[in-house]
């Protein structure tokens, strides 16, 4: 009986996390249909690229989940960087393949995302 109870709790926890992620993400994806150019913003006050990487990017970029280039692996970053840093940053801002816009950094400005990409690339050289 306890394994059934544990399975139910695990399922409920997963549902709660999915709903919570949806509630947090919804404002970030709302009205994404406008064709206005991307407005760059200043770095957030006290922005720490390494700390934000650990909070928002580490899950995929440390394991290669969903095809994410692993930080520290120059070979995986090479083909992406051939397109130029601006293209890599644009992919982080707009999303690419299975990575949603802004990755998992819903509170990042465009400049924050640029700093994150620069941090990951410099850590991969």
Does the pTM surpass 0.85? The reply is no
CA distance 13 to 117: 31
Per residue in 36-90, pLDDT (tens digit) is: 554 445 688 889 999 999 999 999 999 999 999 999 999 999 999 999 999 999 9
User: Do 56 and 112 sit in the same domain of this protein?
Assistant: yes
pLDDT classification of 20: cutoffs 50, 70, 90: low
How is the chain classified by DSSP, letter by letter?
-HHHHHHHHHHHHHHHHHHHHHHHHHHHHTTTT--PPPPP-PPPTT--HHHHIIIIIHHHHTTTGGGPPPTT-HHHHHHHHTT-HHHHHHHHHH-BTTBPTTTT-TT--HHHHHHHHHHHHHTT-
User: Do 61 and 108 sit in the same domain of this protein?
Assistant: yes
User: Do 88 and 104 sit in the same domain of this protein?
Assistant: yes
99 backbone dihedrals φ, ψ, rounded to 5°: -80, 125
105: pLDDT strictly greater than 50: yes
User: Do 14 and 46 sit in the same domain of this protein?
Assistant: no
User: Do 59 and 79 sit in the same domain of this protein?
Assistant: yes
113 backbone dihedrals φ, ψ, rounded to 5°: -65, -40
CATH code of residue 73: 1.10.760.10
118: pLDDT strictly greater than 80: yes
User: Do 95 and 123 sit in the same domain of this protein?
Assistant: yes
Task: Show the tokens assigned to 90.
Answer: 């644009």
Q: Structurally, how many domains does the chain consist of? A: 2
Domain interval for residue 27:
1-32
User: Do 106 and 47 sit in the same domain of this protein?
Assistant: yes
Which residue did the predictor score with more confidence, 81 or 12? 81
pLDDT for position 38: 46
pLDDT for position 39: 46
34: pLDDT strictly greater than 80: no
């Amino acid at each position: 009986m306890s394994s059934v109870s544990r399975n139910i709790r695990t399922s409920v926890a997963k549902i709660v996390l999915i709903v919570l992620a949806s509630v947090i993400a919804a404002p970030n994806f709302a009205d994404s249909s406008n064709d206005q150019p991307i407005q760059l913003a200043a770095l957030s006050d006290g922005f720490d690229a390494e700390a934000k990487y650990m909070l928002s990017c580490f899950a995929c970029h440390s394991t290669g989940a969903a095809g994410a280039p692993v930080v520290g692996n120059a070979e995986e970053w090479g083909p992406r960087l051939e397109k130029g840093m601006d293209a890599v940053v644009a992919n982080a801002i707009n999303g690419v393949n299975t990575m949603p816009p802004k990755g998992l950094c819903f509170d990042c400005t465009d400049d924050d995302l640029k700093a994150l990409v620069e941090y990951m690339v410099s850590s991969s050289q």
